[in-house]
Amino acid sequence: MALFRALAHSKNTTLTLTRSCRTIITFTPSSSFSSACRRRNPSPAPPQAPPSPKKVPFTVSVHGKKWQDPYHWMSNTDDPNLLDHLNRENSYADAFMADTVELRSVLSSEMKARLPPTVLTPPERWGPWLYYQYIPEGKEYPVLCRRLETKRTGWMKNVFLHYGMTRSKREEILLDWNELAEKYGYVNVGTCRVSPDHNYLAYTLDISGGERFTLQIKDLRSGLIDPKLEVYGAVSLAWAQDASYLFYTLSDENQRPYRVLCRRLGYDHEDDLAVFTENNSSFCVDITSTKDGKFITVYVIDSVNPSNGLQKICNRTSGVQYFVEHHSGLFYILTNAPIPDAEWSGQGYYLVRSRIEDVESAKFQSIILPDKDTSLCDMDIFNGYLVLFFTKKGLPLLCSLNLPMQIDFKHQVYIQDLKPWYFPLPSNTCSVSPGSNHDFLNMVYRVVLSSPVMPDVIVDYDMSRHTYSIVHQEEVNCDSVGQSCIPTFVLNKNKSKIQEAHGDNKECATNFNSQRWKDFSHVYCCQREEVISDDGVRVPLTIVYSRESWKKGQSPGLLVSYGAYGEDLDKSWCSDHLSLLDRGWVVAFADVRGGGGGGPSWHKSGSGLNKLNSIFDFVSCGNYLVNEGYVQSDLLSAIGWSAGCLLVGAAMNMHPQLFRAVILKVPFLDVCNTLLDPSLPLTILDYEEFGNPQIQSNFDSIFSYSPYDNIPHSSCFPSVLVTAAVNDSRVGVWEGAKWVAKVRDSTCPHCSQTVIMKTSMIGGHFGEGGHYAQCDETAYEYAFLMKAFGILNE
């Protein structure tokens, strides 16, 4: 994700607890071992042998099935042999990559040269303040700042008097990540919330990488943090409307947010009021506030009078969700609850509303349905406007509706009946992300747009005037980079670049002549194809390559995917990819089932007992790239993150010859053993995504694709780079270590020497790098791929 995007969202950062049906099959060896390795020009291995960890007999027995797991001991992170083994793996990785030092330096220099010296987000007005962030020149991490907006008159003067604000418009630093990193060596700010009266900053801080966050509250008037107010294990935060109370969730020993507490400022934390406790270990609790600040939503809590208790919207039903906002006495609720006796048989989310006094009785006054081929994804609300996020045939859309809605809802209505204003979007947009948009009274909605060929652009949509303004677009410095062929930005003048959100495109083009986004589509091709999977389902595949450097049937390629938790695959601008594209590589993004983009049904069809669908989709996309000549047959690589490594690892087991090289980052590979251990963080929560192996049918499904349990014996295997972190609390460091050891035991001895593991001894699941350090990490990964392909000097 681009740095600019990361800055644009850091004020709204929250902690997400994820490891981010057909006949069950088992995998058998694809061929017997041959003394002649079938890999053409395999990566040269270092002279020393790879590490060989100890083996300890251990029998796993489930549902009458028994098997040996001699590396089970690695799950005990207190065993000193594990740390010793990880250090030896790091030494072997260093030796393996020794001949890539010069290339890594070149790649890292390219990537750093493209970055502007200072990254700055445009100020966003919230009340009388302008909030913004920037990364100082030469620094790794952002700084959160604000200054008073002193140019307003009229009602703004009253706001100034109300808050007693007479200071100058000098810059105030609220939080400097760099100072925290210097103090602790590692820093991860989880959630950051400014109070509605702008006097306090509440944030959660992790200094180990283990994602056990400590709540801290800073008085922005004095600049002091009261250590007596710190709370260990806090996760999400929400302020009361008058800023007299702070609500927060607390996690248990398995890092499951399970309790909501309320703190009254000025009192010790021992006096915090327990508002809600979730005793069912299958569920976690999250909180937020409605946009107008009047309610806290866990159920529904009056934010000013939390002692009044909870209002429950509906009885809890497995798989049913409710997202609540408030406007003028009405709750607007985005839900996927079944509609009794409804004419609509579609799946996914729709919008209802209810009066405050009726919410507990579930008397929903209206039902607003998505149009055909459209899935509702999210909503936001302002004083007079409702914003809806869609996908239509997998492409993003946004629109605003006027509030209050002047329609007497007696029947179900569709969005088009409410005269929406569709936000103009570039035709090649792959990523649409909201800005912070804190100000309920604002009439402007801020969005970050991006695609693989369009650097992040921040756009303000004026919902009252139906116009838009491009506030800022990410800079890309290319002049000093010898490999890059990107010329200076050229404005697009083709009106067809506006995505037609609706049949009538006249309104979408408002203000187009004065505002245009810029992209690199004249240098790089970005095309969307649909790949037919093994069961006939069409899987979206986004393919990016250089118009000048790519050669049909001769280019190397990198296939990217995730396919879990219903999460959208990140296809936003990444300037690091230019180091591949300019060398003739293809970078492709596979939106397989199990991920987002196609609505809840797309997620459901690739999770649980249907998980094999996502794996087959991924394999189909890889074969498509080769068969259609986008990538040379023996030069395809793949990369996965966390739960996405399950996808890549299983695909490697099924088709080890499909990929020449693979990168597995903080990989979820020992799936069956992890899900059999309910004492591990996230295991019980993951039953909904992958299934509960204590149930026979679920176990059979999970065991059939578990990457660790299905490594093909005596087979030639791709070169693999595994990265991990000792303090990772989401995916244990042992998962990658066990998998690497077993690959070396099971596969072609020559191939397995090119499987390496690099472990960070600090940090956690999300790494430790900042602005420039991320370039070094990516350069290492790209150099590994080039070495595996035998193109170090090209």
pLDDT (tens digit per residue) in 245-269 = 999 999 998 889 999 999 888 777 6
* Angle value at C-alpha 541, between 537 and 546, nearest 5 degrees: 160
Is the pLDDT at 730 greater than 70? The verdict is yes
pTM of the predicted structure, to 2 decimals: 0.88
For 23-40, the pLDDT digits (tens) are 222 222 333 233 356 555
Q: Which residue has the higher pLDDT, 765 or 512?
A: 765
Burial 577-605, CB ≥16 within 10 A → b, else e: bbbbbbbbbbbbbbbbbbbbbbbbebbbb
Is the pLDDT at 18 greater than 50? The verdict is no
Q: How confident is the model at residue 648 (pLDDT cuts 50, 70, 90)?
A: very high
Strand, coil or helix: what is 458?
A: strand
Q: Which pLDDT score, from 0 to 100, does residue 409 have? A: 63
For 313-351, the pLDDT digits (tens) are 777 777 788 899 999 998 999 988 877 666 555 678 889
Contact yes or no for 789/635 (Cβ under 8 A): yes
Contact yes or no for 311/360 (Cβ under 8 A): yes
| CA 771 remoteness from chain centre | 18
User: What are the start-end ranges of the H helices in 503-643?
Assistant: 578-581, 600-604, 611-627
Q: Which of 386-400, 491-505, 644-658 has the lowest mean pLDDT?
A: 491-505
Pairing state between β 557-560 and 636-641: parallel
| CA 776 remoteness from chain centre | 21
Q: 373 Cβ partners below 8 Å, 6+ apart?
A: 392, 393
Alpha carbon distance 586, 600 (integer Å): 30
Q: How confident is the model at residue 13 (pLDDT cuts 50, 70, 90)?
A: very low
Strand, coil or helix: what is 272?
A: coil
Lateral strand order in the sheet of 444-451 = 431-434, 444-451, 454-462, 467-473
The mean pLDDT of 441-457, rounded to a whole number, is: 94
HSE on the CB side for 224, CA within 13 Å? 5
Q: Which pLDDT score, from 0 to 100, does residue 729 have? A: 86
CATH 3.40.50.1820 fits domain 59-113+521-789: yes
Q: Domain residues of the chain, as ranges?
A: 59-113+521-789, 314-434
User: What are the start-end ranges of the H helices in 123-186?
Assistant: 155-163, 177-184
Is the pLDDT at 417 greater than 80? The verdict is yes
How many residues does this entry show for the chain? 794
| CA atoms 116, 118, 119, 125: torsion sign | negative
Contact yes or no for 260/248 (Cβ under 8 A): yes
The mean pLDDT of 355-378, rounded to a whole number, is: 80
Q: Which pLDDT score, from 0 to 100, does residue 681 have? A: 84
HSE on the CB side for 195, CA within 13 Å? 22
Q: Which of 319-328, 550-559, 705-714 has the lowest mean pLDDT?
A: 319-328
Q: 136 Cβ partners below 8 Å, 6+ apart?
A: 118, 143, 178
CB atoms within 10 A of CB 196: 21
Phi, psi angle pair for 361, to nearest 5°: -90, 0
Strand, coil or helix: what is 229?
A: helix
Q: How confident is the model at residue 452 (pLDDT cuts 50, 70, 90)?
A: very high
User: What are the start-end ranges of the H helices in 396-468?
Assistant: none
Strand, coil or helix: what is 741?
A: helix
Structure tokens at 49: 């042998």
Q: How confident is the model at residue 356 (pLDDT cuts 50, 70, 90)?
A: confident
Alpha carbon distance 661, 718 (integer Å): 5
Structural Rg of the chain based on CA atoms: 26
Q: How confident is the model at residue 562 (pLDDT cuts 50, 70, 90)?
A: very high
Is the pLDDT at 597 greater than 50? The verdict is yes
For 470-499, the pLDDT digits (tens) are 999 988 876 533 444 444 333 333 333 444
CB atoms within 10 A of CB 29: 14
Strand, coil or helix: what is 614?
A: helix
Alpha carbon distance 597, 389 (integer Å): 12
Q: Which pLDDT score, from 0 to 100, does residue 547 have? A: 96
For 753-766, the pLDDT digits (tens) are 999 999 998 878 87
Q: Which pLDDT score, from 0 to 100, does residue 178 have? A: 93
Is the pLDDT at 675 greater than 90? The verdict is yes
Q: How confident is the model at residue 460 (pLDDT cuts 50, 70, 90)?
A: very high
Find where tokens 């070396």 sit: 744
Rounded-to-5 percentages of helix, strand, coil across the chain:
25, 30, 50
Backbone region of residue 40 per phi and psi (left: phi > 0; alpha: psi in -120 to 50; beta: other values): beta
Is the pLDDT at 563 greater than 90? The verdict is yes
**What DSSP line would sit under 693-720, residue for residue?**
TTSHHHHHHHHHH-GGG-PPTT----EE
**What DSSP line would sit under 517-549, residue for residue?**
-B--TTTEEEEEEEEE-TTS-EEEEEEEEETTT
Q: Considering all CA atoms of the chain, what is the largest pairwise distance in Å, rounded to the nearest integer?
A: 84
| CA 39 remoteness from chain centre | 34
pLDDT > 90: percent of the chain:
58
Is the pLDDT at 529 greater than 60? The verdict is yes
Q: Which pLDDT score, from 0 to 100, does residue 479 have? A: 52
